[in-house]
Amino acid sequence: MSAKTPRARRRRTVAGLAAALVLLGGAGLLAWWNTDILGQDRFCGDALNSSEVSSVLGGPGRLAQSDLYEESDPYYSFSCKVQRTSKFLGGDQPLLEAELSFDKADFGLGSSRLWKNASASSYFVGGATGAVSQTQAWVLLPTGCAKEVRPASQHADVPVLKMNLTRGRSSPAALARAAVSTAQHVAEGLGCADTTALKMPSRLQGPVDDTAPADACGMKGFRLPEAALFKGKAEPGTARVTGHGSLTRVCEVMLQGPGGPRITLTVSNDPAMTKGVRRDETATQGSGRTVTACSPGDLYVAVSFNDAYRDVLLDQGKDAYETARAALFNSYRHAVGKEYGCPTGEE
C-alpha cells in the first residue's frame, strides 16, 4: 500500500468536514435571516412577547422592531412598529404598528377614512372594550388616568390603543390578543389605577348577514322609515349586523342606488363606551349620536351615513335631508330603547 494513501484519506476527510461546516454555516445563516431562531423575546417595551407578534405577522422572515417611542415626561406617549424582515423575499413585508391615541370614544363605530365598515369588525365579548378586523384593532383605555392629560387634548377625547397591520392580514383573534396586551402595557404607563377592565375578551362577536325586510338589523319592529328611502336613488337593500353577543352592536344597511349609499346604525350599553361618549358635549340627537339615561343603564345610539347617501339626501333639499335624518334616528332610537328596556317615548 502506498504511503500516500493515509495522507490522501486525511485530506479528503478534512475537505469533507470543511464542506460540512460551510453547509452548516450556510444553513445557520438561512435560519438566522429567515426565522426567529435566537431572536428577541419581547417587543415594544415589553408590551408584546414574540409568540403574540409571530401570530399576527405570520410567514417567513425575522421579526425586527423598527421603531419604539415611549416617554413619560412631561406626559406619557407610546408608539411602536414591528416588521418581518427577510434577505430572500422581495418587496415590503408585513408591518404591525401600535400607538396610544386620544380620540372620541366612538371614533371607530361610524364611517371614517381610516376606520371604515364598522359592521365588518368583530367586537370583544367578556373583557376589554374594543373591536378588531383582519388589519385593524382598537381598545378603549380607562379614563381619568394620572398621565392622561396633555397640552393638545380635549375634554371629549379618551385614551385608545390603536393597532394597524399593513401589507398583510391576520386572524382577528391573534390581532385582538396583541392589541389587548399592548393596551395593558400602555395603561400602566398612563398611570391608570384601575386596569381590571382590560382583560382578554372571552370571544369575539363577528358580523352576520341580515336580509330580512322586517326587523331590520336584527332589531324587533325596526324598519327603515319611508322618509329615508328614495325611488331609484336609495331603495331597500341588504344589511350586515354584528349580532347580539357583544355590548356594542353595529348594523350597516347597503341600499340600492348610485354610488352604493349606506347607513350605519349603532347601539351600545357598554359602560366604557357610554361613559366616554358622555364626555363629548357635541354628542346629541341632532348630531346623530347620543347617550340616553335608562333604568338598566346608559344607552348609546348613533346613526351615520356614507357620502353617497348624504349626497342623495342633499339632492332632495334641506327639508328632505332633515326629515330623513330625524326619521331615521328617531325610529332606530325607539326600537333599541324598547329592546334594551328603556323606552324613549313617542315624538
Predicted pLDDT of residue 285: 86
pLDDT at 126 over 60: yes
With 50 as the cut, is the pLDDT of residue 188 above it? yes
For the CA atoms of 323, 311, 222, 264, what is the dihedral angle to 10 degrees? -130
Phi first, then psi, for residue 15 (nearest 5°) are -65, -40
Over 90: is that where the pLDDT of 10 sits? no
- Distance, in Å, from the CA atom of 279 to the CA atom of 272, rounded to the nearest integer, reads 11
Task: Please say whether the beta carbons of 46 and 185 come within 8 A.
Answer: yes
**217 exposed, middle or buried (CB, 10 Å; 0-12, 13-18, 19+)?**
buried
Residue 212 has pLDDT above 50, yes or no: yes
Cell of 270: 357598554
Picking from 82, 143, 186, the residue whose alpha carbon sits closest to that of residue 278 is: 143
What is the distance, to the nearest Å, from the Cα of residue 182 to the centroid of all Cα atoms in its chain?
Answer: 13
Could you tell me if 251 and 268 are in contact, meaning their C-beta atoms sit under 8 angstroms apart? Answer: no
Name which residue leads in pLDDT, 309 or 147.
309
Tens of pLDDT, residue by residue over 159-185, are 999 999 998 899 999 999 999 999 999
Q: What are phi and psi of 137, to 5 degrees?
A: -155, 150
Collect all residues with Cβ–Cβ distance below 8 Å to 191 and sequence separation of at least 6.
76, 145, 146, 147, 148
Average pLDDT of the chain is 85
Give the mean model confidence (pLDDT) for residues 203-217.
77
Task: Tell me if 202 sits within 8 A of 127, measured CB to CB.
Answer: yes
Q: Phi and psi of 84, rounded to 5°?
A: -80, 130
pLDDT digits (tens, 9 = 90+) for 252-311: 999 999 999 999 999 999 999 999 999 999 999 888 999 999 888 999 999 999 999 999
Higher pLDDT, 67 or 172: 172
What pLDDT does 243 receive? Answer: 80
pLDDT digits (tens, 9 = 90+) for 20-33: 443 444 334 344 44
pLDDT over 60 at 323, yes or no? yes
Q: Regarding predicted confidence, which is higher, 132 or 146? A: 132
Percent above pLDDT 90 for the chain: 58
What CA–CA distance (Å, rounded) separates 331 from 327?
6
Confidence of residue 333 (pLDDT cuts 50, 70, 90): very high
Q: Can you tell me the distance from the alpha carbon of 182 to that of 160, in angstroms, rounded to the nearest whole number?
A: 11
Which amino acid is residue 102, in one-letter code? Answer: F
Decide which of 91 and 338 is more confident.
338
Query: How high is the pLDDT of residue 36?
Result: 56
For residue 132, which of 177, 172, 105 has the smallest C-alpha distance? 172
What distance in Å separates the CA atoms of residue 197 and residue 252, rounded to the nearest whole number? 28
